[in-house]
Structure 1
Amino acid sequence: MITFFPTPYPEGELLYSILARYHVRSGNISPKATVEELFGSRSVTAVLDLPANVDRLISNLPIGSNYTAERLIVKNTLYPFYSAFLPPERTKITLQSMKGNSGGGIHSRTGIMASTIKENRYLRVCKECSMESLKIYGEIYWKRIDQVPGIIICPKHKVLLSDSKVLVHHDNKHEFISATIDNCNLSDEYTNLTSIEEVIESEFIPKYIQLVDNVGKLLNNRYPNKPPEWFFSQYIERLKMMGLANTNGSVRQKELRGQFIEFYGESLLEIVQSPINDNDSSWLSMMVRKPRKTVHPIRHLLMIQFLGITLEELWSVENDYLPFGKAPFLCLNAGADHYLKPVVTNMTIRYDNKIKRPVGTFSCSCGFVYARSGPDSSEEYRYKVGRVKEFGQIWEAKLKELLQKDLSLREIARRLKVDVNTVKKYGQKLREGEVELSSEGQNDVINKEGFREEWLDLQKKYPEKSKTELRKDNSRTYAWLYRNDREWLNTNSPKKRQIPTVNNRVDWDKRDEEILKVVKAVVEEILNSDDKPERITISRVGKKIGKLSLLEKHLSKLPQTNEYLLQNTDSVRDFQIRRIKWAIGECERQGCDLQWWRVAKIACIRGEWKEELQEEFENICSRIF
């Protein structure tokens, strides 16, 4: 049992940092001696984000200590961040693993190991926070939010974080290293950091700050765990409301990708290690399919912010896509006694791919069926009819009643809320029905022969006309035959005309030459631009020339263009080198010292590329000077 334990500093000090401060105060020279004092074992590993063996630590705290394992895990590790979107059962197992001594599967269980978002290489600090901490407490400490991958600014001071000299995974896996003035790069030599405006385009900075604030909320609040299907359903329902998914939940992937990139900007997405590929295998596309694997919390937060959902709403309010509101709906049958009353309970929705909007079909018990496109943006839309599919017997009975009153067609149309042509059409149908009803059982054969003769005479008179055109010329005859003698009608009508097909074969050789010229011009334009470099990829070139689909699907048919693109598209390394050359030019233009850290910041070189490309930078500088 240890005799003292450092009090955690506010604003989310890491448990790793608390234990590092204990190591300093204990006077131990050996890191293993500290580990043994804290955990009763010399084999415990110093883990930054999701440590295990917390129960052992609690059992060794001084008598009277009111700390619990769960309190330390929730308040002083990254557990609340990584567990927020995990299924309840997996969250429970992860918490138990962190309390116990089986920490080997924690990172796999939370999806960190499989994620393409990689953890930071060095521990990070905010210089403003560090100076405040030195003034108040006389020492610096590691904050947990500063260590979240993708977080590059301090949520309090809104300035860029700086890498310390302390590796997240250093040589001695048992050593807890405390933050100091020396290893946190607080000397004047490191004070000239790039501003956030040079890293993220200014218009997207507020969105990045909101993202960082949401990370803080995940760390400082315990939201109830939900199954993956809950989040998937929330996202799909909101995409429906935004018109990015149809009523069946099928997402319009290309439009989603385009709007997502436009919303965040490529520089922001690069910083959070979540760029969007131009195909259906991107992480964004996978998020809006049925959940099959764990998604990194940063990407959940990106999706939530894009959809306009707050964290509180995400966990407490279940989105339900109701483009026409809730039932009952209004009956718009002007011939019924319940006109404009909410009596319609039968409504179906389909998605119209032509107009890219939902279409609702409303069926009343009176037989009146109407449809309209949605969503309803105001109350007045409830009173609109897009198209009447069926008027029903009650409406037709009302029409018959009004016709017998010898009213004008215009007045009847006004009362029934239709146009005059509709009154004419259905009035004629009613009269035809009466004729058929009166003749039933008396002159069936005579009527049939009469209608047949009329139809044949019509074809003789207009031999060039089609069946549809003849129907318009004598709708009464056609309607009778269709209802009473359809087989004869089909046999004795003009045959369907064959529309000759036109051979529009593509001259691929000619098209190859035309496309090659345009592609070369675009590539030259990208390479000679003084603006921030763009990576030369097939998809980017395709977008710029307006032929993305052609290059994606038929590049094999354009051999010259294909060969040129193979030789001139950028690998990741090629692009990084171009960005370094551009950044060097920017430094010279601004009159700044040509130092690697400054060039790397301007060129947005991060992670594993930073060390790998430093030698390339030095070679370029040696050639220049």
Structure 2
Amino acid sequence: MLPYFPPGYPDELLYSLLARFHRHVGETSPKRTLDVLFGNRSVRAGVLLQGHLQALSERLPPHRELTPGRLLADFTLYPYLTAFQPADVRLAVRDALFLGHAEWVTVRLGLAASRVQGATGLRYCPACRSDMLNLYGELYWRRDHQLPGVAVCPDHGVRLQDSTVCPGTIGQHSFIAADEDNCPKVSSDVQDDVSIPWMVVKRCARLLRSPPAPMSLREWGAHYHNELRQRGFGKGDDRIDQRRLSADFASWSGEPEMGGTENWLAAMARKHRKAFHPLEHVLLGLFLDAHAPVAENAPFGLGPWPCRNPLSEHYGQPVVQLAGTHQEEGKLIGQFSCSCGYVFSLAAVPGSKPRILDLGPLFRQRLRQLVAEGAGLRATARALGVDPGTIRRHAERLGLDAPWAPLKSRPHVPRSPRAACPQPPPPDPVPRRDWPGLDGQLCGALRAESERIKTLSPPIRASATVLQRQFGRRDWLASRLSKLPMTACALAEEAESVEQFRLRRIVWAAEELRRRNLPLKPWRLRRLAGLPEQASSQVEAALEAYEGL
């Protein structure tokens, strides 16, 4: 347990906190600092993400209350880098940073192959530099200054400056603290508070403190698809006008239109098959905020929609979101979901009635309570706002011992006989196949085909696949071997294994070398027979048998 560890400053990077500890204790060896902090001298210093947080937390003073979860959420870029990742990816990355290295995490998050690359060195804000010296008497590295792709400070709108500290060039085990030498005093212009760079960094900094709820890639794709269509970027039944989207985005951002493989905007408007960088999500989100939804382009109206669950506390309140759309019998169907678990669908047709897909956990919980209290069928239906048939069905699905009679299957009522009418004549019966006779024919033909293949030069392996392919009935024969026992036995006997084929190629190679009047050397045989450098013991013994001949 460390007797001393510095307190963290507002929005300080864990890299900076560990670097200030290294400086405060007067340590000169980065390896000894790693040994003290982590108990492991091979730990790598991470700027954006830091591994081995569990070991670090166990050595810090308890009064600092720096648990692994707090270190990860409050002192690294984990909330930002995983803001748009599914729940399982967030959990896997968290566990990896708690217990191990952070190197593979960048690959799992797609940062290694991302078009958005961070700065090579640590950055600082000239205005924040003066505030830090006045308030704390020392400088430190802030998290929101190291966000990949951002260019200004979220607090002052001042363009960030590159320090002289480049972690990639100073060693992978060193923590370098900010000071007045590596962060020289400079002047910088202030951005307009409504400029796109400042809006981007404010949104990115907000993700550090309050990331959105986890959603799957499919859900993010459906979300952006619906939002774009509501803002007039729809085309046809359920497509996005990519040309108009690219042109409007270029006009809004002031950047040239994108095209080819670099058009991440078009990829985000389609189904998401991979994760996108948080900065790309932020840019698209700001673009959507700058364009108000158009009522005529929203077939279900402008959301959110009121909750239809009478058992929920927010019944009637606009909290329902559009989860996705699909086409059904030429109609656009929207699926709506509420946080209480109530899910329903609605067709984009005037007068269409909603179709309940899931009544939610509140319904099932209340149904169990009413059944346990001995409530009657109709009383239960009135209390839950559904018909008695729905109550019966859900009680049976949940296996409840209800006091009312279960659903009864409707008795079969035979149809009245119709007047006799002329029937078409039955089709001619298909003659039955003579399987025993066919089995004998195929067995003989397969063995003959095997002998023919084994006489070819250079040799070809008579595998089961080759035999069936040469026979012209591969798929047909493989599915009918149960009816052809002799053919199946012949196929098993004649099919040549890899080792048998290599032994046969050795014999062929020896005959070929004799024909060319060349010495029978094992290396010549191996090369001519196409054998690997190390084969099975039987093949190697066959090669050694030719040594000295």
Query: What TM-score do the two structures reach when normalised by structure 1?
Result: 0.47
Which residue number in structure 2 is paired with residue 237 of structure 1? 226
Query: Which amino acid in 1 is paired with 2:52?
Result: N
| Conserved 8 A contact 2:151-2:197 | no
- 1:207 aligns with 196
**What residue in structure 2 maps to residue 277 of structure 1?**
258
The within-5 A match list for 1:105-144 is 105-144=104-143
Q: After superposition, where does 1:167-316 map in structure 2 within 5 Å?
A: 167-186=166-185, 191-193=186-188, 195=189, 205-246=194-235, 248-266=237-255, 276-279=257-260, 282-308=263-289
Shift of 1:324: 5.5
CA separation of 1:265 and 1:168: change in aligned 2, threshold 3 A: farther
Deviation at 1:235, TM superposition (A): 0.8
The aligned counterpart of 1:154 is 153
Show the counterpart of 1:102. Answer: 101
Q: Which amino acid aligns with 1:258?
A: A
> Does structure 1 retain, via aligned residues, the 8 Å contact 2:126–2:187?
no
Cα distance in structure 1, aligned partners of 2:99 and 2:168: 22
C-alpha distance 171-282 of structure 1, shift in aligned 2 (>3 A): same
After superposition, where does 1:380-459 map in structure 2 within 5 Å?
A: none
Equivalent position of 1:523 in the other structure = none
CA displacement at 1:65 relative to structure 2: 4.1
Q: Which amino acid aligns with 2:122?
A: L
Q: Which amino acid in 1 is paired with 2:166?
A: L
TM-superposed deviation, 1:94: 0.4
Aligned counterparts of 2:262 and 2:234: Cα–Cα separation in 1? 17
CA distance in structure 1 between the aligned counterparts of 2:160 and 2:208, rounded to whole angstroms = 18
Distance 1:76 1:360, change over 3 A: closer
In 1: Cα distance, 2:274 partner to 2:109 partner: 10
Shift of 1:277: 2.1
Aligned to 2:247, the other structure's residue is in SS state: helix
Q: Distance in 2 between matches of 1:364 and 1:124?
A: 57
Q: What's the CA shift string for 1:383-423, capped at 9, x where partnerless?
A: xxxxxxxxxxxxxxxxxxxxxxxxxxxxxxxxxxxxxxxxx
Alignment pair present for 1:18 and 2:17: yes
Gapped regions of structure 1 (runs ≥ 5): 267-274, 314-318, 327-345, 351-358, 366-625
Distance 1:259 1:95, change over 3 A: same
Q: String of CA shifts for 1:463-504, please: whole Å, max 9, x gaps.
A: xxxxxxxxxxxxxxxxxxxxxxxxxxxxxxxxxxxxxxxxxx
Deviations 1:34-71 (A, max 9, x none): 11100001101111001110101011112544220000
Q: Which runs of 4+ in 1 moved over 3 A?
A: 278-281, 319-322, 346-350, 359-365
- Distance, in Å, in 2 between the alignment partners of 1:286 and 1:348 is 26
- Aligned pair count? 312
In 2, Cα distance between the equivalents of 1:248 and 1:168?
51
| Equivalence for 2:4 | 4
**Tell me, which stretches of 5 or more residues in structure 2 are unaligned?**
303-328, 334-346, 354-549
Q: Which amino acid aligns with 2:199?
A: Q
Q: Is the 8 A contact 2:229 2:298 kept in 1?
A: no
Alpha-carbon distance in 1 for matches of 2:352, 2:28: 84
Partners in 2 of 1:117 and 1:281 — Cα distance? 11
1:272-300 alpha-carbon deviations (Å, 9 max, x no partner): xxx64234761111111211111000000
Q: In structure 2, give the amino acid aligned to 1:9.
A: Y
Q: Please tell me the residue identity of whatever aligns with 1:206.
A: S
Contact 1:276/1:283 (8 A) holds in 2: no
Kept in 1: contact 2:16–2:176 (CA 8 A) = yes
Name the CA distance, whole Å, in 2 between partners of 1:13 and 1:283.
32
Percent identity of paired positions between Structure 1 and Structure 2: 32
Aligned to 2:299: 323
Q: Please say if residues 244 and 252 of structure 1, whose CA atoms lie closer than 8 Å, have aligned partners that are also in contact.
A: yes
- The structure where helix makes up a greater share of residues is 1
1:211 deviation in Å? 1.5
Q: CA deviation at 1:170?
A: 2.3
Q: Which AA in structure 2 matches 1:213?
A: K
Question: Would the alpha carbon gap of residues 347 and 364 (structure 1) be closer, same or farther in structure 2, given more than 3 Å must change?
Answer: farther
Matched residue type, 1:223: P
Describe the superposition over 1:327-376 as per-residue Cα deviations: whole angstroms up to 9, x where unpaired: xxxxxxxxxxxxxxxxxxx99459xxxxxxxx9775999xxxxxxxxxxx
- Which residue in 2 is equivalent to 1:316? none
RMSD: 3.0
Q: How far, CA to CA, are the matches of 1:296 and 1:253 in structure 2?
A: 20
User: Where does residue 43 of structure 2 map in the other structure?
Assistant: 44
Distance 1:29 1:347 in 2: 73
In structure 1, the residue matched to 2:90 is: 91
Q: Deviations over 1:219-261 (max 9, x none)?
A: 0114321111222111111111122123643111111100001
TM-score (ref. length: structure 2): 0.53
CA 247–234 in structure 1, closer or farther in 2 if over 3 Å, else same: farther
Conserved 8 A contact 2:85-2:215: yes
